[in-house]
Amino acid sequence: MFKIVTPLIQQGLLSVILLSGSATAALTDDTTRPKEKSVSIGAPCREEPSCVVVGDTHILKWNSPNPNNTVIVCIHGLGLCARAYKPLAKELEDSGFDGYGVNVRGFGPDRDKAEYAKLDCVDTVDDVSKLLESIHKESPESKVFLLGESMGGALAVRIGAEHPELIDGVICSAPAWKILKIKRNALKGFVEFVFMPHSVPGPAGKSLINQATKDKSLSDHWMNDYSHKLKLTLGEAKAFMSFISKTDYYAKRLSKPLLVVQGLNDNLVSPVAVARLFRDAQSKNKTFLIDGEGEHLVLEEGRFSPALVEKLVNWIDKDSQRSSKSPLVETINTDNLTERQSKRLAKLVKESSIKEVDDRRPGNN
């Protein structure tokens, strides 16, 4: 009986998971997909002045008044949409960077369309890759960086590993692949799955939001914006877990410059697991930046600090091109750490140190 019930509990959790950073609809075999025409940058969206249409879906777009031939492509976290990057876009714009914020399939204003209704990370990999190709065609002299948080971080790692020719570096914050307190929330998810199928969100969802942030205004924003998606089907959730479970595998194949950002107070994605992902990454030019004041989100919804923006801009401008091949571990906002936080920080630094890499290949999609 226990062997039967346990997977059901896990499935119940997955059907309501709210990770603020990673999910996917049923994955399909890449060979069965029809080939799509190349994507080009399109016309403004009438609903949101800062959005444009790329192909037939909306994305956030910004242009710096003083561009320096650098483009940043941002991928949001689970439950959110591309507009989560509007505050950061302003900072990047002021620093001379043009950019885009992509809506992962299943999120954003187009999720009422059949082809964009379900969360699908694999098709989103294709979407972003086509956007990168379009950027290179229109601005062949520009440097292009991928930036993603949580689910977006997992997507950025995978795209960077599969298409290194399309990028000059990867920035990922709390890349989703190890979720904290999953067993406890699994029980809540099972109860919700069986007894409260229409609750949005229910106990498990609210618990996961509380893990992501202590800010009530941010929690309310997550739950009340139509472009957000707070509940997954069983198929979407199972495919999501399959996708993010391979994040470390793709990090080991990521050769381009890499900046990994991690909030010290992240209670949703395991900071230790992220430190190990950084350790395992193949990139020779890589930096691990730990934010002593950061929760799960440190890039989206204006959660960044001035110190983080400064480090981010400096990495894009300079550190991503450094000749030294030694990994760097840097910290910010650590002046007022408690004793417990100091120990946690020391552990992250230790876990990020280089060890022998396990090269086992994960299962097929």
CATH number at residue 234: 3.40.50.1820
Here the tokens at position 226 are: 């139509």
Residue 364 located in a structural domain: no
Residue 99 located in a structural domain: yes
Confidence of residue 101 (pLDDT cuts 50, 70, 90): very high
Compute CA distances 171 → 30, 197, 350, 357, whole Å: 26, 36, 21, 21
- Which pLDDT score is estimated for 107? 87
Q: 144 versus 361: which is more confidently predicted?
A: 144
Residue 363 located in a structural domain: no
Residue 170 located in a structural domain: yes
Distance CA 17, CA 185 (A): 9
Residue 356 located in a structural domain: no
Confidence of residue 33 (pLDDT cuts 50, 70, 90): very low
Residue 328 located in a structural domain: yes
Confidence of residue 338 (pLDDT cuts 50, 70, 90): very high
Domain span at 173: 2-29+39-351
Residue 365 located in a structural domain: no
SS (H, E, C) 87-98: HHHHHHHHCCCE
Domain count, the chain: 1
Residue 362 located in a structural domain: no
For residues 9-19, average pLDDT: 41
